Amino acid sequence: MKLVTAIFLSIVFSSALPLRAQQITSLTGQYGCIYNKNFGGFNAANIKSTNDGSITGATSLIYFDFSNGKYEENIVGMNTWGVPNIVMNSISGINGTISTSKGPLTNSFNVSATVRVNGQTWVSTYLLLSVNGGATLLLQSGIKGNGDGEPATGACNKI
């Protein structure tokens, strides 16, 4: 009897588990992300203020709304990197739009975020890899040729 019960339970539990990773064909919903630039000495454009034009050592919180094509970002970093009296700075309330296309990896997407501030257009490009059935996105930027500069990584969770 124990053997029959064990076989029955084995069949029930094995059929409840997915046999392979779930293929994601599009991104929907909202995600909150933490994003960290991995560099030393590079500058990130400071598009919201009139200071020296750069923030270094930047980390960001990003909000992607794929259902409505919206993008928001808040950046925190330092001005005047490498000199005495380093000044902390932040850029909040960056808002824009996003467009999404299929990425080069399975379950990956290229996302371009476009922001217009003071008559200038800024575009950041991200490579997102969907994991955990779409509940989490791994984030990478600084891809050669897109003007993002230094490499950066992060993770996003579905809200």
Q: Residue 69's pLDDT is what?
A: 96
Q: Which amino acid is at 20?
A: R
Q: Please report, in tens digits, the pLDDT of each residue of the chain (159 residues total).
A: 666 555 655 555 555 555 555 677 899 999 999 998 765 545 555 554 444 546 666 788 999 999 999 999 988 877 665 566 666 777 777 899 999 999 999 999 999 999 887 788 888 889 999 999 899 999 998 765 545 566 789 999 999
Residue 52: CB atoms within 10 A of its CB come to: 12
pTM: 0.73
Residue with the two structure tokens 């960001």: 60
Residue 94: CB atoms within 10 A of its CB come to: 19
Any domain includes 51: yes
Q: Residue 155's pLDDT is what?
A: 97
Any domain includes 22: no
- Please state, in angstroms and rounded to a whole number, the distance separating the CA atoms of residues 92 and 89: 10
Residue 16: CB atoms within 10 A of its CB come to: 7
Q: Residue 50's pLDDT is what?
A: 44
Any domain includes 12: no
Any domain includes 119: yes
- Please state, in angstroms and rounded to a whole number, the distance separating the CA atoms of residues 134 and 28: 9
Q: Phi first, then psi: give them for residue 147, nearest 5 degrees.
A: 80, 5
Per the structure, the complete domain to which residue 116 belongs is given by 27-158
Residue with the two structure tokens 């034009």: 53
Any domain includes 134: yes
- Please state, in angstroms and rounded to a whole number, the distance separating the CA atoms of residues 27 and 16: 25
The total domain count for the chain is 1
Structural tokens at position 82 = 């490498």
Any domain includes 14: no
What SS3 state is found at 15?
helix
Distances (CA, A) of 150 to 43, 100, 141: 9, 22, 8
Any domain includes 80: yes
Q: In this structure, what CATH number is given to the domain that contains residue 76?
A: 2.40.160
Rg over CA atoms, the chain: 21
Any domain includes 41: yes
CA 92 to chain CA centroid, nearest Å: 17
